């Protein structure tokens, strides 16, 4: 396998008489040997363009791509020793699964015994033995995608590139194929760069996850580091389902404590809430007192009042809006002041729509962000992870 280094990588598209479009900008990222790195972000963020630059399917505008220390900027795609699996499986419809798996090896003129060995190994790993003599039309969606994975595997490339290979599958098949890819990586210890727009897929697959927006890398870290220590408000809102709740307001000193005071948009109706931040956060945010900030709380850090009256967080009065029972848990959507937010509460939630509710905010788990730049405020629970 191989390690991949992207140095100040950039890609700019220029149309006749049109402004330049910067698809990827100054991207610095290292993929370790044997690592499964996931590139995630909304549509148009530059993740697929980055993958195509590594594959050699696009010419870079600036920067460098190194595979095992070798600069491959000018190396043709066929000579980079990488294998790409696309969003559409792109199998030859007139060939059987076995013939599709072997097609690239035959083009390389490998010996028949070597081809048979590689096809046999891949089909065993991907559990395709019973499907090898079927054509794509006779395969299920998951089987077709496994054949596409196998076609990349048999080449034994230094780097695997996956471009949203699960996006066309329905939910159960996506979950199954996530497990297949995780199992494949665990068995082969292959170097994989996997592109997706699905944050659940990113969190469950990646050794590390790199979040992109508008061509820029926002943060690259282990999945749980992204979740618990987002570098900025965008990462905090993109990673997690339901996403993090955000409240605009100010920090105000009151006696020995510091309070967050909700502040809505101009003209908004409804009284805002006021909660005391934890002593640990107060010591670190003292320099921001008196200024505007954005408070972030995960849905699981907002709870209903306990039946026995135990108080573990700051009480916030709200009005329930929508209740979504999901079996093991309930998503409770509410409004306080001018902010709508969601709490992940127990399955036994008895709150009805348009009912006053008292909720507890666990301020020990609070995140705080700069109201203008969106950056996580240094020293809070949301300390940034290293890129």
pLDDT at residue number 385:
42
Residue 355 counted as domain residue: yes
**Residue finishing a domain among 205, 231, 257:** 231
Domain boundary among 200, 231, 262: 231
Residue 386 in domain: no
In a domain, 179, yes or no: yes
Q: What is the total count of domains within the chain?
A: 2
The range of the structural domain enclosing residue 132 comes to 4-231
Q: Which residues in the chain belong to E strands, given as ranges?
A: 4-13, 21-31, 36-40, 62-67, 70-71, 82-85, 159-163, 192-196, 208-213, 216-221, 245-254, 257-262, 274-276, 292-297, 302-304, 314-325, 329-336, 339-346, 356-361, 367-370
What's the CATH number where 207 sits?
3.40.50.300
Verify that 225 and 289 share a domain, yes or no.
no
**In a domain? residue 206:** yes
Distance CA 283, CA 120 (A): 62
| Whether residue 310 sits in one domain with residue 191 | no
Task: Kindly list the distances between the CA atom of residue 66 and the CA atoms of 53, 62, 219, in Å, as whole numbers in the listed order.
Answer: 11, 13, 21
- How many whole angstroms separate alpha carbon 364 and alpha carbon 179? 34
Q: Are residues 260 and 118 in the same domain?
A: no
Residue 375 located in a structural domain: no
User: What's the pLDDT at 307?
Assistant: 62
Same domain, yes or no: 152 and 25: yes
Whether residue 221 is contained in a domain is answered as yes
Alpha carbon distance 57, 278 (integer Å): 51
Q: Are residues 161 and 21 in the same domain?
A: yes
Q: Examine the domain organization and report whether 218 and 259 are in the same domain.
A: no
The confidence score (pLDDT) of residue 387 equals 42
The answer to whether residue 249 is domain-embedded is yes
Assess whether 220 and 280 both reside in one domain: no
User: Quick one: pLDDT at residue 176?
Assistant: 81
Looking at the domain assignment, is residue 240 inside a domain? no
CATH value at residue 302: 2.40.50.140
Per-position pLDDT tens, the chain of length 387: 789 999 999 999 987 677 889 999 999 999 999 999 999 999 999 999 999 999 999 999 999 999 999 999 999 998 999 999 888 878 999 999 999 999 989 988 899 999 999 999 888 888 888 889 999 999 988 888 889 988 988 988 999 999 998 887 788 878 888 888 888 888 888 899 999 999 889 999 999 999 999 999 999 999 999 999 999 999 999 999 899 999 999 999 887 789 999 986 544 545 689 999 988 888 888 888 888 999 999 999 999 876 666 677 899 999 999 999 998 999 999 998 789 999 999 888 878 888 999 999 999 999 999 999 999 986 666 554 444
Say whether both 200 and 128 belong to one domain. yes
Tokens linked to 249? 């307001």
**How far is residue 33's CA from residue 1's CA, in Å, rounded to a whole number?**
6
253 with 209, same domain: the answer is no
Please report the pLDDT score of residue 381 as a whole number.
60
Whether residues 220 and 254 fall in one domain: no
Does 97 lie in the same domain as 188?
yes
224 and 120 housed in the same domain: yes
Contact 223, 209 (CB under 8 A): yes
């Amino acid at each position: 396998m191989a390690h991949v280094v992207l140095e100040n990588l950039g890609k700019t598209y220029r149309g006749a008489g049109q402004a330049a479009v910067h698809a990827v900008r100054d991207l610095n990222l290292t993929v370790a040997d044997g690592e499964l790195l996931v590139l995630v972000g909304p549509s148009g963020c530059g993740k697929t363009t980055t993958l195509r630059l590594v594959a050699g399917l696009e010419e870079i505008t600036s920067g460098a791509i190194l595979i095992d220390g070798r600069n491959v900027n000018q190396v043709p795609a066929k000579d980079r020793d990488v294998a790409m699996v696309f969003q559409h499986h792109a199998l030859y419809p007139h060939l059987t699964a076995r013939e599709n798996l072997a097609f690239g090896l035959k083009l390389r003129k490998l010996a028949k015994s070597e081809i048979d060995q590689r096809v046999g190994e891949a089909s065993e790993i991907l559990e395709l033995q019973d499907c090898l003599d079927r054509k794509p039309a006779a395969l299920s969606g998951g089987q077709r995608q496994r054949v596409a994975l196998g076609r990349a595997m048999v080449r034994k490339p230094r780097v695997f590139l996956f471009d949203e290979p699960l996006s066309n599958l329905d939910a159960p098949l996506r979950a199954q194929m996530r497990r297949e890819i995780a199992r494949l990586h665990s068995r082969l210890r292959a170097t994989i760069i996997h592109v997706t727009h699905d944050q659940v897929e990113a969190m469950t697959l990646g050794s590390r996850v790199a979040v992109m927006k508008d061509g820029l890398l926002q943060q690259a870290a282990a999945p749980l580091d992204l979740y618990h220590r987002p570098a900025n408000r965008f990462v905090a809102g993109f990673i997690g389902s339901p996403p993090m709740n955000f409240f605009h307001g100010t920090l105000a000193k009151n006696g020995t404590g510091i309070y967050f005071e909700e502040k809505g948009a101009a003209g908004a109706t409804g009284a805002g809430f006021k909660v005391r931040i934890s002593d640990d956060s107060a010591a670190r945010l003292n320099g921001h007192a008196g200024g505007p900030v954005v408070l972030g709380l995960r849905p699981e850090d907002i709870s209903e009042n306990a039946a026995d009256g135990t108080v573990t967080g700051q009480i916030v009065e709200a009005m329930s809006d929508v209740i979504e029972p999901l079996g093991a848990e309930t998503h409770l959507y509410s409004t306080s002041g001018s902010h709508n937010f969601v709490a992940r509460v127990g399955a036994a939630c008895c709150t009805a729509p348009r009912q006053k509710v008292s909720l507890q905010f666990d301020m020990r788990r609070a995140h705080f962000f700069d109201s203008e730049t969106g950056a996580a405020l240094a020293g809070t629970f949301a300390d940034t992870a290293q890129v």
